[in-house]
A and B are shown apart, each in its own frame.
Chain A
Amino acid sequence: MKNTKDRRAFALSLGALLAVLLAGIGLAGCSSGSGNDFVLGIGLPLTGSNASYGVASMDSDQLAVDYLNAHGGILGHPVKIVKWDTKADPATGVAGAQSFVSQHVNAVVGFFNSDVTVPAIRILEQANVPLFGDNPSTPQLASLHLTNFVRVTGDDALEGVIQAQFAIQKLKVKSVVAIDDQEAFGEAFAQAFVDEFKKDGGTVLDHEGVDPTANDYSAILSKIASLKPDLFEFSGFYQPAGLLVKQARQMGIKSIFITDSAVYGDKYLGIAGPAGVGTYLTNVPLSQESDTPLSKYLTDNLQSKYGIKADGIDANTFDAVIAVSYAAQLANSIAPADLIKVMHDVKFQGATGDVSFLADGDRAQVDYTVVEVMPDNSYKTLEEFKEIL
């Protein structure tokens, strides 16, 4: 009797589960909007370790969509966003790409993280869906010869090279300890930096990796203190960057500190505190500096609507959405396959300056700046680089 009851309960539970799943599938199938909409899939890390970037990027994407809808949508079709939280996890990103395909999106913007983008784009490629990359910056993406891919961000290797050249030529340093966060972006960036630093005659005393979720970096900093480099460089995101420089100064390390564009912003300054003053960062030009109508729109609205000071990452993701609309205008169609045919020919003046792409999907011209943190916690631009590929 007990077994029969158990079996009945099990069958009921299974039935309920199936009903929920089927309802979910049905809802997902219906969620891609009316036939008149331009459905834009946006994949970002909205929760998890990179949520701070993903949430701000989502706000920028929403602003771009608001802008397009205020100007008649894309070829007269209202733009509707379908969000996917990648959690900065490659497997979740792949699931997102599959979800976008099943929801018949017209195009996808994303996925912020390189290690999420690389596997996810294969799913989109097979389904003939274009991906307009916002900030996935690994050099690996350009080497995949993808037909459905362009990205607004430059690649890590290029920024790492510029940073090393600036360090040698302008800061006049001769030795460095490089540290990365052992993630796709940080590792690729640091390797490019180290290779260029050596090529330009500098001495790399050490190249270390740290856990980006740690709080205490005293062990690695002890090593830096004993090596006494002219410069210590960090490749990764703002939290470890801020903690590293703060703890380094507490330990009496006086070496110059330089870091990357993903660190740029108020959050780095908040964590580093006074130790952030006098540190250097490479950066994609701020929207204010590129001074275009779109940059003004992004800067003003991101501040007034979301209380966020726009940075290069926000501007990249904003421009990725705008690029979608330019592709549709070129194709005179919103069909994904038609967008793919023309996406490499898109040209416009966006929030990050002049945007155009090469055949491998890389951006044709990437602007970088090097900035220094001033005592009033502002960033002062020291150098501007226009890299035409």
Chain B
Amino acid sequence: MLQELLNGIVVGASYTLLALGFSIVYGLIRLINFAQVSLYTLGAYLALYLTPLFASWLPGHGWVAFSLSVAVCGLLTGLVGVLVAAFAWWPIRRAPTISMLVSSLAVLILIEALIEVVVSPLPMVVKVPVDNRVHEALGGHYSSLQAAMLVGGVALTFLLYNFIRFTKFGRAIRATASNVDSAVVLGVNVTSTTFVVFGIAGALAGVSGVLVSSTYGVASFTMGEIVGLKGFTAAVLGGMGSVWGAVVGGFTLGIIESMSTFLLPSQWTAVVAFGILILVLAFRPTGLLRTRASDRA
């Protein structure tokens, strides 16, 4: 059972990074930003080219090259996130929420289609220049890259939390999330705050895409669709708009899926996971962790 629990935690890390992105954007402007799912895919495809490039610059330092690739891909997808805000949110920021939702879906489809046309419709094999040996620990088997995915997910969550909690910009995000008018009175530049949050969400999605595609060795232009839906589900499960809610939702969903696959025929996994989601929402419509102004982004 410990192996299943840890499997769920590793998968949950990827859900968490996407859930965080959904949650902070929603917390700020009440938009479910599906466009970030395409940045998950974009991150994976950027790494296809950048990881070997950095590895050729840093021979014998595979982990350094890989870490550099993760960071640069995150930065690039963060920048694309800002561009998404500039072109798909800013011009229609006063339109009904449904228009913004459709706009974010359009970006998702556009970027996926571009990847399909420009790169390939075929799944791409991802090679990582690290010794991805399998370790036996705690009664299970784990590859080095699975451990990296878990560490990366947890580290980014803590970084984000501390950024929102303790920095001046984080306070601006919280103030805007709490009440836009009051934030403006307090001198917060709401527009630039929103652009930065789109950037952070894009970076989180991109890093998640790189970690997942590198860990499992394959990237495809549709790779974000199912995991994106699960990231969104995790955000709702934990409590949309809450950083810790996204963390709890992501890991809970990962563990539920893993455990139910082990205990029941795997065809029941989705029934169990989404059945629990419906139950949670029936009794706690705001998710497992209620949104509080203190941690809302």
Contacts and interface: CB of A to CB of B under 8 A. Distances in A.
Nearest to B260: A219
Contacts of A375: none
Interface string B203-221: 0000000001101111010
Per CB-CB distance, the 7 closest pairs between chain A and chain B, nearest first, are A51-B121, A219-B261, A218-B7, A215-B216, A219-B258, A270-B125, A52-B122
Interface in A183-207: 206-207
A211 B218 contact: no
A252 B4 contact: no
A48 B222 contact: yes
Interface size class of B (residues with CB under 8 A): 35 or more
21 contacts: A47-B116, A55-B121, A55-B122, A208-B266, A208-B267, A209-B266, A209-B267, A213-B220, A214-B226, A215-B218, A215-B223, A216-B10, A218-B10, A219-B259, A220-B261, A222-B4, A223-B262, A225-B3, A251-B134, A252-B134, A271-B123
The winner among A218, A225, A250, A270 for most chain B CB atoms within 10 A is A218
B217 A216 contact: no
A242 interface: yes
A222 B4 CA distance: 7
A250 B258 CA distance: 17
Contacts of B131: none
B8 interface: yes
A3 B10 CA distance: 57
Contacts of B226: 211, 213-214
Contacts of A246: 217
Interface size class of A (residues with CB under 8 A): 35 or more
A323 to B, nearest CB: 27
A239 B220 contact: yes
B267 A267 contact: no
Contact of B267 (A51, A182, A251): A182
B7 A216 contact: yes
Contact of A218 (B11, B220, B227): B11
Nearest to A46: B121
Interface string B1-36: 001100110110000000000000000000000000
Nearest to A208: B266
Nearest to B11: A216
Contacts of B10: 216, 218
A210 interface: yes
A219 B8 contact: yes
Interface in A26-55: 46-49, 51-52, 55
B113 to A, nearest CB: 8
B295 interface: no
A206 B116 CA distance: 37
A253 to B, nearest CB: 9
Interface string B138-182: 001101000000000000000000000000000000000000000
Interface in A42-92: 46-49, 51-52, 55
A226 B1 CA distance: 10
A213 B266 contact: no
A206 B261 CA distance: 12
Given A51-B122, A219-B261, A271-B125, 10 more contacts: A208-B266, A209-B266, A215-B212, A218-B3, A219-B4, A219-B258, A219-B262, A250-B143, A251-B140, A252-B134
A341 B266 CA distance: 46
Given A239-B218, A252-B136, A220 B266 contact: yes
Contacts of B265: 206-209
Interface of B: 3-4, 7-8, 10-11, 116, 121-123, 125, 134, 136, 140-141, 143, 212-213, 215-218, 220, 222-223, 225-227, 257-259, 261-262, 265-267, 269
Given A209-B266, A213-B226, A223-B261, A243 B217 contact: yes
Given A239-B123, A250-B141, A222 B3 contact: yes
A250 B134 contact: yes
A18 B11 CA distance: 49
Contacts of A213: 220, 222-223, 225-226
Contacts of B257: 219
A271 B222 contact: no
Contacts of A48: 121, 222
A273 interface: yes
A267 B121 CA distance: 13
Contacts of B212: 215-216
A52 B121 contact: yes
Nearest to A49: B222
A226 B3 CA distance: 11
A52 B123 contact: yes
Given A49-B222, A239-B123, A216 B216 contact: yes
Contacts of B261: 219-220, 222-223
A229 to B, nearest CB: 15
A22 to B, nearest CB: 26
Contacts of B140: 222, 251
Contacts of B227: 215
Given A55-B122, A267-B122, A273-B217, A222 B262 contact: yes
Contacts of A267: 122-123
A252 B136 CA distance: 9
Contacts of A219: 4, 7-8, 11, 257-259, 261-262, 266, 269
Contacts of A247: 216
Interface string A246-281: 110011100000000000000100110100000000
Contacts of A47: 116, 121
B63 to A, nearest CB: 18
Contacts of A52: 121-123
